Structure formats: C-alpha cells, structure tokens
C-alpha cells in the first residue's frame, strides 16, 4: 500500500511539473497605441495612428496592440498607458492633444519607455509648465497646408458658398480653418470671382455630434451654403446628416472620410499613418531610443514630409483634377505658395468671411 501511495504521489508531482513546463507565457506587445477615448475604427485620429503602428510593426516583425481607456479622463488615459507598459510596451503611441497632460505625468516615471505624442506637447493640467522629456517625441502638423488645399479645391471645383465648421477653437483647428480661408481666397483670385465667394465660419465648441450642430448646419445649407469643411472629431456626423437632407456637400478632416457619406467630396488629411511610420523608423534605426534630434523635441510635419494632403485614391471632384491638385501640392511643398500658420488673427482676404459666434 505504501509503495502504491508513493507511486501515485510521484505521478502527481511529475504531472504538475509537466503542466508548469507547458504553460504559455502571458502575451506581451512591444509597440502600443493608446486611444484617446474612442476606438481604432473612428475614421479619425485613433484609426490613422493605428494604421501607422500596424504598418510599421508588421513590416518589421514587431509585436503590437492597442489599448482603450475606460473613460474620457486624464486619469483613465494614464492608467491605460501604465497597462500597456505592464503588458511589455517599449514604445507607446498616443494620438491627440488629450494626451498632453497624461504624457507629462508618465514620461519621467517610465524613463526607459519611448513615447510618441501626435498633435500635442506635454504640459501640466493647468498649462503652466511645458516639458518634453528625452524619451518623448512630439509631432505637430501643418494643418494650414491641408486646409489650404481643401479650400482651393472647393472653389476650383465650382463651389462659391462655403462653410467652415470647427470643433473647439484650439490651434490645430484654427490653422485648418484659416488655411481653408486662404486657399479659397487664392483660388477665387485666380478665377476672378472674389466677389462671388463667401464662407460662413463657426466653432461649435466641442468634438462630439449633436442636434444643435445639425440644426445649425441645416440652416446654413437652407440659406445656400453648398459645401462645409467639418473639422473636429465626430462633429462630421452632424454635418453629413444635415448635408444628406439638403442634398449638399461636406469636406472631411484628418483622414479620408469619403466612405462615411456620399456627401463628402474630399478630406483635408493629416497623414497620420505616414508620420507614425517615419517616427518609428527613426526610433528603431537608433536602437529603440529617440535620436538626439527627436528625443525631447517637437517635429512639425507637412507637405515636404508627405504628412498632409487630399486623398487621390478616392478622388470624386470633376472640375478640379488630380493632376491639377498634384501641381498645387508641389507648389505648397517647394514653398512657391506661402501659407500663414498664424492663429492670432484671421487672414486678410478678398472674399467674404462671416465669422459667427
């Protein structure tokens, strides 16, 4: 009996050891994207950044994953960044200005982790202190160039009564809007129709769709506005709903939004995916650390880097052709066309702009 019990005990011990030997290690992911609060299919910043992470990681055989905060708060974003790091992240990509104070908080706590902040710069919650640590690189964009291209295209396509719907009046949105005004103005001057082109201009104060925004846009369309540049997260949903009802048009923003509605004639894009790929390429070329010219610094990317533009793959405009657009883009890229990036005052133009409260 003792021999039998000893044998059974030995078998149990061997089985336990084998079970331990066969256990799979917890999954870890080297490159992490933390979304602002939305998901990776938001047709905006999260999706664009995710596509860049995915492209680089798959091409270079890096593990990657995304993490979504439980709520729209700095605390939730910080907690999610920490969760990504706990899951093995050596590089954390954060899309949007909502991460500015979160990155400020975590960059010194995790000095061995490399942070990439898109469309923002780290600062305290009260904006009193700005600091970018050596393990953080920020990317800003020349939104004025993308806005310019969209405004120019709209007028060249034949639209004369335009609208600009901005979210919050933050610098990036203002640059989009003022660039749009400058582009429409230059196209109008070239065509000699300055007196015929007008723009209604309004910031709605947020980035979420609402009935109030839809009502405002419906009023614009009813009054004769032909196309509205909708600039700010989910507010395009309110704008396209109004446009669909009115048989009017919309210009999208940040990414190619043409698949979202037949009303969208083009989109003023930040090439988020391309900018992420460029940054990660530089990072890993330096052994997984930001090189001296990027770590602790901010890059401002535009036409020269191929990080702003209009989407040519889904081109739907008839009068303003892709070839004409490419010619215009090259002029912006080489500096032949000068576009102001000032957010302090509205640009001086010959067309009529109705700035509404």
φ, ψ of residue 47 to 5 degrees: the values are -65, -45
Predicted local distance difference test score (pLDDT) of residue 260: 93
Threshold 0.85, pTM exceeds:
yes
Predicted local distance difference test score (pLDDT) of residue 26: 57
Same fold: 31-133+273-301 with 143-269+309-356: yes
User: How does DSSP classify residue 307?
Assistant: -
Predicted local distance difference test score (pLDDT) of residue 255: 87
First to last CA, the chain: 92
Q: How many Å apart are CA 26 and CA 34, to the nearest integer?
A: 20
Residues near 220 by beta carbon (within 8 Å), at least 6 away in sequence: 163, 200, 228, 242
Cβ atoms of 208 and 177 within 8 Å: the answer is: no
Which CATH code, of 3.40.109.10, 1.10.287.110, 3.40.50.2300, 3.50.50.60, is assigned to 143-269+309-356? 3.40.50.2300
| Residue 73 CB neighbour total at 10 angstroms | 13
Q: How many Å apart are CA 21 and CA 206, to the nearest integer?
A: 54
Q: Does domain 31-133+273-301 have CATH number 3.40.50.2300?
A: yes
Q: Could you list the pLDDT tens digit for every one of the 357 residues in the chain?
A: 444 445 444 444 444 444 333 333 458 999 999 999 889 988 778 999 999 999 999 999 999 999 999 999 999 999 999 999 999 999 999 999 899 999 999 999 999 999 999 999 999 999 999 999 999 999 999 999 999 999 999 999 999 999 999 999 988 999 999 999 999 999 999 999 999 999 999 999 998 999 999 999 999 999 999 999 999 888 999 999 999 999 999 999 988 999 999 999 999 999 999 999 999 999 999 999 999 999 999 999 999 999 999 999 999 999 999 999 999 999 999 999 999 999 999 999 999 999 999
Each domain of the chain, given as residue ranges in start order, spans 31-133+273-301, 143-269+309-356
Pairing status of strand 31-34 against strand 64-67: parallel
Percent composition of the chain: helix, strand, coil (DSSP 3-state, to 5): 45, 20, 40
Predicted local distance difference test score (pLDDT) of residue 24: 36
What are the Cα distances from residue 148, in Å, to 90, 175, 193, 236, 267?
Answer: 37, 9, 17, 19, 12
Helix (H, G, I), strand (E, B) or coil at 248: coil
Q: Which residue has the tokens 């032949």?
A: 336
């Amino acid at each position: 009996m003792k021999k039998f019990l000893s044998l059974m005990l030995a078998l149990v011990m061997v089985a336990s050891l084998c079970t331990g030997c066969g256990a799979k290690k917890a999954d870890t992911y080297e490159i992490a994207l933390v979304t602002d609060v939305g998901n990776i299919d938001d047709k905006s910043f999260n999706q664009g950044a995710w596509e860049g992470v995915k492209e680089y990681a798959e091409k270079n055989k890096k593990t990657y994953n995304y993490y979504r905060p439980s709520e729209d708060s700095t605390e939730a974003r910080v907690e999610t960044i920490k969760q990504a790091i706990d899951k093995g992240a050596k590089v954390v990509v954060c899309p949007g200005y909502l991460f500015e104070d979160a990155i400020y908080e975590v960059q010194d706590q995790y000095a061995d982790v490399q942070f990439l902040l898109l469309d923002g710069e780290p600062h305290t919650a009260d904006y009193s202190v700005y600091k970018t640590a050596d393990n953080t690189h920020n990317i800003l964009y020349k939104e004025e160039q993308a806005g310019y291209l969209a405004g120019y295209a709209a007028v060249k396509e034949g639209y004369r009564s335009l609208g600009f719907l901005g979210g919050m009046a933050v610098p990036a949105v203002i640059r989009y809007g003022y660039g749009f005004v400058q582009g429409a103005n230059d196209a109008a001057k070239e065509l000699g129709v300055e007196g015929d082109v007008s723009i209604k201009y309004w910031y709605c104060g947020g980035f979420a769709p609402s009935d109030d925004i839809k009502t405002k846009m419906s009023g614009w369309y009813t009054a004769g506005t032909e196309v509205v540049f909708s600039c700010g997260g989910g507010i395009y949903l309110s704008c396209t709903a109004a446009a669909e009802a009115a048989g009017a048009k919309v210009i999208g923003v940040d990414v190619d939004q043409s698949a979202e509605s037949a009303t969208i004639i083009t989109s003023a894009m930040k090439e988020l995916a391309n900018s992420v790929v460029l940054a990660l390429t530089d990072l890993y070329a330096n052994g997984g650390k930001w090189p001296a010219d990027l770590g602790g610094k901010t890059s401002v990317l535009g036409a020269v880097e191929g990080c702003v533009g209009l989407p040519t793959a889904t081109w739907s405009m008839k009068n303003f052709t892709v070839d004409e657009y490419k010619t215009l883009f090259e002029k912006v890229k080489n500096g032949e066309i000068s576009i102001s990036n000032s957010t302090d005052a509205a640009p001086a133009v010959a067309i009529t702009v109705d700035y509404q409260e």
